Amino acid sequence: MIEIADVGKRFVLHNQGGAILDVMHAACLNVRAGECVALVGASGAGKSTLMRMIWGNYRCDQGSIRVAGVELCGAQARDVLALRRSRLGYVSQFLRVIPRVPALNVVAEPLVVQGVDEDHARAQAAALLTRLNIPQRLWALSPTTFSGGEQQRVNIARGFIHPWPVMLLDEPTASLDAVNRAVVLDLIREAKTHGAAILGIFHDAAARDAVCDREVDMAQFTPAAAGAA
Amino acid sequence: MTPLLQVEGLSKHYGNFLGCGDVSFTLWPGEVMGIVGESGSGKSTLLNCLAGHLTPDAGRVLFDTREQGLRDTLAMAESERRWLARTDWAFVHQNPRDGLRMNVSAGGNVGERLMAVGARHYGNIRSQATDWLDRVEIDTGRIDDRPRAFSGGMQQRLQIARNLVTGPRLVFMDEPTGGLDVSVQARLLDLMRGLVRRLGLSAVIVTHDLAVVRLLADRLMVMKDGRVVEDGLTDQVLDDPQHAYTQLLVSSVLQV
């Protein structure tokens, strides 16, 4: 479901003397349906960069990234948007929301965008928030006022409300307590059972061992001279 | 699928000065495109050329009309273009005073646009106006008040109601949240996002506020000195800007 071949990434910083950062070289990686693969490597090895290139908010300059059959290198904006609407899910590290929108609607949004009836979408959102132990009195409030762990759980609920065939997880268990961490690991296992192809970054080694089938070390794709720059 | 709007080689000069030069893009149904750039970069000139308020020197603006498919709006008769502006298009001005009639009641402002497309039944017009005031979160008890008595945020919401009541398919917005304080901005953004999604609208939004486009726009075009220097998926342009000017723009935003 995710096929990455010979991918390279370079940042050119025009306003800092045209500095060039080579951060990735000839990255290759495949994730099949029903499989969870962990990206590992030190800080600056390019784990998040690769995730963002798959999500499409970093441009892919070199090589090929195919997600659910769609080539992302050189893709049109509308093709990437269509992919994100129903086939590619992303749990980022931080929640970015409009102030004033209730948590329940934030979680339901990915379904509503796909045309699911709003009441039905909110009912599913409520079920997930309950499962992630977000008290009902918070549902009508904007997550901007929530604690870090609560925001992260809202983010996870939003990421798991639709059975995306391909999922990207950036530190899904960070800042969670043991109970909620177990819930998230269960959600990941269920997604795998449904056939999702999952690529994740997990600093929590126990969580990684619990859900991931194999690891890919990003260090092998880091250009020798540049390092993390 | 047919594009809703197809722009080809659009240019506008003011004397020798370039307003906007050789702009081309395609907007698809349901897409929201943001145009950012500093003051004087040509973004408002471009928007006004698209909406028919200014006549460009060169280029074509093709719009997918209901009856005849893609038509060049610049080559249309003035009467046809005016009809489009009243029905399928909407234009939300930065200053609500430019888009509202300040001496006419709130209900009258909304109803006037309905009457311009042929509505005559007073009861129907009033009930549609009431419905739209409610949708933009204006207390329907204030339907007979003049916009003069409204706050800036309410005036802006009323302008949006007046524009959307005829069910347009394409909305042009010029700095729709400019001049409003931040809490009012957030509410307006939330409202606009909901309306765009529920009604399946396409929109072109000009702003200098990068946070606004991140929340509202699917796609982003960056302008400098009348030229488009970069365009693409909104989060790609903001998170991985390629052009020197975009990098400067993104890195200049103050973090709160």
Cβ A95 vs Cβ A105: under 8 Å: no
What's the CA gap between B81 and B73, in Å, rounded?
7
The answer to whether A15 contacts B31, with C-beta atoms less than 8 Å apart, is no
What's the CA gap between A182 and A205, in Å, rounded?
14
In a domain, A192, yes or no: yes
In a domain, A118, yes or no: yes
In a domain, B256, yes or no: no
User: Is it the case that residue B256 has pLDDT exceeding 70?
Assistant: no
User: Is it the case that residue B140 has pLDDT exceeding 50?
Assistant: yes
In a domain, A189, yes or no: yes
CA B97 to chain CA centroid, nearest Å: 15
**Looking at beta carbons, which residues of chain B come within 8 Å of A59?**
232, 236, 240, 242
In the structure encoding, which two tokens stand for residue A66, read together? 């195919």
User: Is it the case that residue A26 has pLDDT exceeding 80?
Assistant: yes
| Residue A60 to chain B, least CA–CA distance (Å) | 10
**Looking at beta carbons, which residues of chain A come within 8 Å of B244?**
14-15
CA angle in degrees (0–180, nearest 5) for B191-B193-B194: 65
Closest-CA residue to B216 (of B188, B255, B256): B188
Domain ranges, residue B182 = 5-251
pLDDT for residue A225:
59
**pTM tops 0.95:** no
Of B193, B242, B247, the CB nearest to A59: B242
In a domain, B240, yes or no: yes
In a domain, A76, yes or no: no
Domain ranges, residue A215 = 32-59+83-221
CA angle in degrees (0–180, nearest 5) for A83-A85-A91: 95
| Residue A209 to chain B, least CA–CA distance (Å) | 31
Is A12 an 8 Å CB contact of chain B? yes
HEC profile of A152-207: HHHHHHHHHCCCCCEEEEECCCCCCCHHHHHHHHHHHHHHHHCCCEEEEECCCHHH
The answer to whether B248 contacts A80, with C-beta atoms less than 8 Å apart, is no
Is A9 an 8 Å CB contact of chain B? no
The answer to whether A13 contacts B232, with C-beta atoms less than 8 Å apart, is no
In a domain, A74, yes or no: no
Cβ B92 vs Cβ B160: under 8 Å: yes
- Sign of dihedral through CA atoms B95, B96, B99, B102? negative
Over the stretch A118-163, which tens digit does the pLDDT of each residue have? 999 999 999 999 999 999 999 999 998 898 889 999 999 999 999 9
Beta strands, E only, B51-169: 58-65, 69-72, 89-92
In a domain, B172, yes or no: yes
What's the CA gap between B2 and B62, in Å, rounded?
11
Please give the ipTM for the structure prediction. 0.87
- CATH assignment of the domain containing A37: 3.40.50.300
Cβ B132 vs Cβ B143: under 8 Å: no
Find all residues with CB under 8 Å of A151, minimum gap 6, and list them: A94, A95, A143
| Residue B239 to chain A, least CA–CA distance (Å) | 6
In a domain, B17, yes or no: yes
Of B189, B240, B248, the CB nearest to A57: B240
- CATH assignment of the domain containing B243: 3.40.50.300
Number of domains in chain B: 1
In a domain, A71, yes or no: no
Over the stretch B37-77, which tens digit does the pLDDT of each residue have? 988 899 999 999 999 999 999 999 999 998 888 999 999 99
Under 8 Å CB pairs connecting chains A and B tally to 55
Closest-CA residue to B199 (of B22, B14, B32): B32
What's the CA gap between A196 and A213, in Å, rounded?
13
In a domain, A130, yes or no: yes
Number of domains in chain A: 1
